Chain A
Amino acid sequence: MRILNLLKIAYKAIVLNKVRTLLTMLGIIIGVASVIAMLAIGEGSKESIRSTISSMGSNMITIRPGTDDRGPARGSGGDVQTLTLKNYDVIKEKSTLLSYITPVVNGGGQVISGANNWPSTIYGVNPQYLDIKVVGLQSGSMFTDAEVKSASKVVVLGQTVVDNVFPDGQDPVGQMIRFDNIPFKVIGVLEEKGENTFGQDQDDVVIAPYTTVQKRILAIDYLNQIMASAVSEDDAPDAVIEVSDILRSEHKLMDNEDDDFSVRSMEELISTFSSTSEMLTVLLVAVASISLLIGGIGIMNIMYVSVKERTKEIGLRMAVGGKGSDILMQFLIEAVLISITGGIIGVILGLGATVFIEKFLHWPTSVAMYSIIISFAVCAVTGIFFGWYPARKASALDPITALRYE
């Protein structure tokens, strides 16, 4: 029997039972739509994390002091003062895989200009900071190495700080501000970067020479962290190892001692966040898959009822020459047709839901082609798997019994 004829028969059977077929499809539709939407949300958040981290400088490496585990109570990272300027100098001198490096000291405080003030964080760095963070200047200029050396009282402001401290729209470059009551001259404004995925405002910063911040604001001689940039993204993992080795020998750590610092590349950060969102995606998809499974069982149920209901028809088809395989194919194709049609509607609905989520909930989404292909494949397999048993039952009927069935 030609496959086209079988398709025609199956199509007729479906059309003759529109409402029932639609209800049967519902499980598949909801299942597929939720799989598509969930995967889109998962992919979207993963992509947005990746792009945020890339915009922060994808070959960036951060070196922080380790946690203090010498006392009875463990402190948080950065409590200890194991990172020094000397460490910075040695890393800068010895490392071969770093293109830029800067010491970082930071502290919070109030930025004041005239009658306006704004709480912000001051970062003490050297001029290479801009290259590491991949950020440019909107106006003015960055401070120089000479200004770092002389601990000049100059700052570069982020846009958020400018907006709040100079609300009248005047050019901040050349103006004086005070940070913790110490006067600074504004020499430049950073490019706007906006919020990152974690909701942090990347423009709410004040940049100053690290020497100035260390001596005049924080009055410390250690560093909060060291930031560096690997020669390339591919070199980042090797650079992490290289920096670790330099620091271990510098800190005179024994082989059996743990690092008293941590070196992280952005790649690690990406994979940390990705694995979190990946786990979430897996959970979401698992929930959606259960709905797909229930949809499949729905198909099996309705096909089973359909076979019972059409026993006489099956008997007739056999009497006029339908072979067991023809009957099997007829019901199998019907089941697959139902599941695939449900799949198509589900994909459309899922895409619609994705657009809705993006537009109204402002969640980042990204529809992966593979999710659509997988959904279709799963639908076809569901149809065959759950359609097989009822179809098999139909094809094994005895034509005499089937014809007499009431």
Chain B
Amino acid sequence: MSKEIIKIQDLKREFTMGNETVHALRGISFTIKEGEFVTIMGSSGSGKSTMLNILGCLDQPTSGTYEIDGVSMKDLSRNQLATIRNEKIGFIFQSYNLLARTSAIENVELPLLYNSAVSNEERRERAIHALQMVGLGERLFHTPSQLSGGQQQRVAIARSLVNNPVMILADEATGNLDTRTSYEIMSLFQDLNSQGITITFVTHEPDIATFSNRTIVLKDGNIIQDYKNNNIQSAAAELAKLPQQDH
């Protein structure tokens, strides 16, 4: 049995808005094992974003337990959470969130800047390696404005890989991309997953789920579905089926 990366038990998150208490998550339990590719689905208001924030150690649950790679989130300080984010999680955002006017390689190096155990030489090497993994080995010194949306997201993916996280956490990572580029990115995720990298993908697009091996569906703060996908589509194959692009 493979290692449990994420272990969530009876997780609740409540927000107080004036006099009202909003129950964003109402007691959720699940585990994610090493090497899984999980999509967390749900319409808006389902608790998806709250789930994402907690999974990403940006927010803490009101009650229940959350362990990532064997470390309990309970009662950790802001700084300790930052360290966990730095060492264990790779973030990918819908809007890429690259630093403007900053080269691809410097963007990728960013997480390692906050890890004092990594030397300057090692940082550069790992950034180059990560960019090669996402197929941008030739564009190390291009700035975001010189890259297409898909390429920018690849830089963001390289940035999420550079600190060798236990899990990549993607938030609507294909939301800003056209179908062709989405498939390219999903194909890249599948490649990375086949190399053993655990991926959690939060989305509201159902077809993204067909590329993952497990889907968790949230509704009104509860899990209404959690199923293994026995018919995983290949994003590369889907990409091939699309009509040829005009040149």
Contacts and interface: CB of A to CB of B under 8 A. Distances in A.
A313 B58 contact: no
Nearest to B109: A5
25 contacts: A1-B113, A1-B116, A2-B116, A5-B113, A9-B113, A313-B99, A317-B114, A318-B82, A318-B85, A319-B58, A319-B85, A320-B85, A320-B91, A320-B111, A320-B114, A320-B159, A320-B163, A321-B87, A321-B114, A323-B78, A323-B114, A324-B78, A324-B82, A400-B59, A403-B93
Interface in A310-348: 312-313, 315-326
B53 interface: yes
Contacts of B113: 1, 5, 9
Interface residues of B, number: 26
Interface size for chain A: under 10, 10 to 19, 20 to 34, or 35 or more residues? 20 to 34
A325 B116 CA distance: 14
Nearest to A15: B101
A364 interface: no
A361 interface: no
B114 A326 contact: yes
Contact of A320 (B53, B79, B102, B110): B110
Contacts of A124: none
Nearest to A401: B58
- Ordered nearest first, which 10 A-B pairs have the shortest CB separation? A321-B86, A320-B111, A321-B114, A323-B82, A316-B97, A323-B79, A5-B113, A319-B91, A321-B85, A400-B58
B115 interface: yes
Contacts of B115: 321
A399 interface: yes
Interface string B94-136: 0001010110001000110111100000000000000000000
Interface string A374-406: 000000000000000000000000011001000
B42 interface: no
B169 to A, nearest CB: 10
A16 interface: yes
Contacts of A2: 116
B194 interface: no
